[in-house]
Amino acid sequence: MKSSVLIIRTIGLAILLLTFLGAKPQNIKVVCIGASITYGARIDDRERNAYPAQLQAMLGQSYTVYNYGVSGCTLLKKGDRPYWDTKEYKQALDMNPEIVVIDLGGNDSKLINRIHVNDFEEDYRDFIHSFSNLPSKPRIILLSAMPSFITDTAGIWEREITREINPRIQKVAFTENREIIDMHSPFVDKESLMPDKIHPNKEGAGIMAKAVYSTLVRKRDKEYDITSSFGFPIKKSSFYGYECIDFSFKGRSCKVVKPKFAAKGHPWIWRARFWGHEPQTDIALLQNGFHVVYCDVAELLGNSEAIAIWNDYYAMLHKSGLAKKAVMEGMSRGGIYVFNWAAENPDKVAGVYVDNPLLNVSDWAATMFKVSDGKNQMLQAFMKDYGLKNEGDVKVFKKNPVDRIEQIVKGRYPILILCADADEAVSPRENTLLFEQRIKEAKGNITVIHKPGFKHHPHSLPNPEPIVNFILKATGHPL
């Protein structure tokens, strides 16, 4: 009896010792499912350089990553080469994994498969269910299809990817409540990393691996649900695969888009104007656990009424669990809204990203008096919002962001401006450049990214990585 007790104690001590030395009793199995991009086609030494192999190196010994990529395969059951019929599909199921990463859809955009595109969502849901029904109940992550730079419209066609395949993947992510990683935007400006215009090289595979790695290891608050404290009617819809909550607040139309899992601290970005326009930054932040919020105060142009409504909206959101400090986002005249609110609430701002912003409305209004004889609709709204009677009142108006520098720099938050140097609608010289000069003179923290030759549209960047990295750093959530 004493001998048996001694053996049990010895085994227990051995387990404790192994744990102390860093040994992990559980090994997390990750299966990467996909076609040639997952397999590592065209990559030298693919066993070491395909994205699943690079992911393995990033995750370390507590994970085991399996590459179940099969070149040429489709998600569609009626496709020319269904993944469903491969031995790798059965092997992946038999593995009973804890994590499943699915990268299928590119080959479904081929001409031979497009006739079945209406089956894509149902087939994808069935595919997900085949894994979600496993005893391991795995975490399932969907990857959107990467861009194609080939010109043969019978092959993997970019127009089909952007119009049909990726929107359907986003719908499935919404209906099945599954995580989704955007693999399209990060590569739209990376044709050089795709030598055959379809398959990424080693460096491109590294970008894929890092995106998946960041999603897997980022600290998450699985229990947080911002709507749990909402005591008013809400309506749910999809925002590029994420749950969008629509509701009325103070008589204003409002939105909150929820990430699949909130990042620790519940960071958020506040879109000031033009909801859904060039959404790539918002989508990338949702992927990183941010909430995206909106409160429509058009067309109050950042006046005292707009600020009062936003103050109450902020208080409601913060009481519902969002972080004390928000990232403010404004495009065009959204810049007025952003900085006028930030000037009144410097302690509530983590950072500001504005894009071709209107920051000197007096200069703009003076121009409108000349070209429209004072009959421009937005000009009339501006004068009404601020109680201005005539052109003389406009000339002495001092509630522009360019005039509120002292209040703005008081918050000590970083500012990022995207500036189209050929902007025909908002003068860079009288807005961004003047604002930048005054912020720097006041020792503020400002960065301007210039877009030489670009006009007012399009806003943002096709690949929002510089914007996203700025925001993640500003909020203490770097990759």
- pLDDT tens for 385-398 read 999 998 899 889 99
pLDDT for 282: 98
Question: Is residue 33 classed as helix, strand or coil in its secondary structure?
Answer: strand
Domain with CATH 3.40.50.1820 in the chain: 226-360+400-474
The per-residue pLDDT for 19 is 43
pLDDT band at 368, cuts 50/70/90? confident
**pTM, rounded to two decimals:** 0.92
Reported as a single tens digit per residue, the pLDDT across 16-55 is: 444 444 444 469 999 999 999 999 999 999 999 999 999 9
Give the CATH architecture of domain 226-360+400-474: 3-Layer(aba) Sandwich (3.40)
CA distance 388 to 394: 7
Of the pLDDT bands very low, low, confident and very high (cuts 50, 70, 90), residue 8 is: very low
Report the length, in residues, of the chain: 479
H helical segments located in 376-419: 377-385, 391-395, 405-409
pLDDT tens digits, residue range 142-174? 999 999 999 999 999 999 999 999 999 999 999
CATH topology of domain 26-217: Rossmann fold (3.40.50)
Report d(CA 195, CA 352) in Å as an integer. Answer: 37
Closest Cα partner for 287 from 276, 279, 297, 295?
A: 279
Give the residues across from 257 on adjacent strands. Answer: 244, 292
For the chain, residues classed under CATH 3.40.50.1110 are 26-217
pLDDT tens sequence across 403-456: 999 999 999 999 999 999 999 999 999 999 999 999 999 999 999 999 999 999
Cα radius of gyration rounded to whole Å, the chain: 26
Amino acid 371: pLDDT:
83
